[in-house]
Amino acid sequence: KLYNTHRKLSGRTLFITGASRGIGKAIALKAARDGANVVIAAKTAEAHPKLPGTIYTAAEEIEAAGGKALPCIVDVRDEKQVNVAVENAVHKFGGIDILVNNASAINLTGTLETPMKKVDLMLGINLRGTYMTSKLCIPHLLKSKNPHILNLSPPLNLNPVWFKNHTAYTMAKYGMSMCVLGMAEEFQGSVAVNALWPKTAIQTAAMDMLGGPGIAKQCRKVEIMADAAYAVLSKPVSYTGQFVIDEDILRKEGIKDFDVYAVKPGHPLLPDFFLDEEPQKVQKLMEDQGATPAFKAVDEAAVSVRIADIFNVFKRRITTELVKSTQGVYKFELSGKDPGVWYVDLKNEGGSAGSGEPPNNADVVMSMDSDNFVKMFTGNLMPTMAYMSGKLKIEGDLSLAIKLEKLMALMNKSKL
């Protein structure tokens, strides 16, 4: 049974940014079951083609769970919209007791690959949005009996390994964590300000877009974050300035069985960003537990496979059905030992693959080291891990990149 509680949030008002789906909505539903009031401050008013849920569908779920809901169209970059939502919340529910800064944008790319528009988006939502929403809610929080701000952001781990592949994203997320550091001290004794971050990857629409279909079984469900948030928000104001990890706080609350939170109980879990020293250490930890990490060290013999061999296998494996179901042109820009440009066309006529520029415009361009490319296509490096650790750069249609996992499964059937 998931973390049991005694209606500690009954009648309290939570203002949650980005609550139309994922972790934000899970925290909202957890509070709603206590009979809390929830302000859903999020952007999605009309159904998104790729992402589930709107502020209105979330509001229906909150009411059905036993809470009261106020859906507000809010882009946290817009001061006026945040202000209006805060005023409406106070007017409808009489005040604000809890602010959850959950809204976040992610783009895991290096400095030269990140367009300024994306940098502005991440800094605007994660850092500035969190700061501004806190600033506008604090005057109301100060009137509450047990006010809390909870930012969904990581501990401030200054190891460069967490910066080098996605400096802009790390700066933006750490900006949220710096709000915790500063505001916890500034409002000590008046408002509790804490951060919460998952120990493992959590299955959300965002994670599915980042990691593709293979990622889910390595994740935990959003409920673990909802239960951990509930534990933090039930604490007194003196509990402040903490960088909480979901599993750690739940262990302290007496939870012993974490399998209930796993998407696939017993499957090795993918550790989340910002927590471990080095990816190698993560690998060792997983191996110590008898797991086989998705990014295991490579068999040197495999590296001797020539790139040309891989594309020859591709050619043999192309079927009209594969072309119909994929509908994409892939371009691979390889560097390192075997540099060159290769392509796989799974969109036009009967499909084709080979070296050089694709005969038709590429829908997705993937850049990586040739050794890592070989590791990927011989099953020794998951595209998910390659992307998340910065070994694989993707430009263009990310959903096509996700379909690559299926192509790899085909490749690995025919032993290279």
Catalytic residues: 169
CA distances 304 to 339, 374, 414, Å, are 15, 9, 17
Handedness of CA 377, 383, 388, 394 (dihedral sign): positive
- Dihedral, CA of residue 285, residue 291, residue 295 and residue 298, to nearest 10: 100
Distance (Å, whole) CA 72 – CA 234 = 25
Half-sphere exposure for 131 (CA within 13 Å, toward CB): 14
Phi, psi (rounded to 5 degrees) for 31: -70, -40
CA distances 158 to 48, 154, 222, 229, 277, Å, are 36, 11, 27, 25, 10
Distance (Å, whole) CA 10 – CA 283 = 43
Distance (Å, whole) CA 385 – CA 297 = 12
* Structure token digits, residue 278: 């080095």
> Do 114 and 168 contact (CB within 8 A), yes or no?
yes
Distance (Å, whole) CA 334 – CA 76 = 39
Distance (Å, whole) CA 241 – CA 250 = 18
How many helices (DSSP H) and strands (DSSP E) are in the chain? Answer: 16, 12
Phi-psi region of 291 (alpha: psi -120 to 50; beta: other; left: phi over 0): beta
* Structure token digits, residue 265: 């109980």
Distance (Å, whole) CA 217 – CA 200 = 12
- Dihedral, CA of residue 136, residue 46, residue 105 and residue 103, to nearest 10: 30
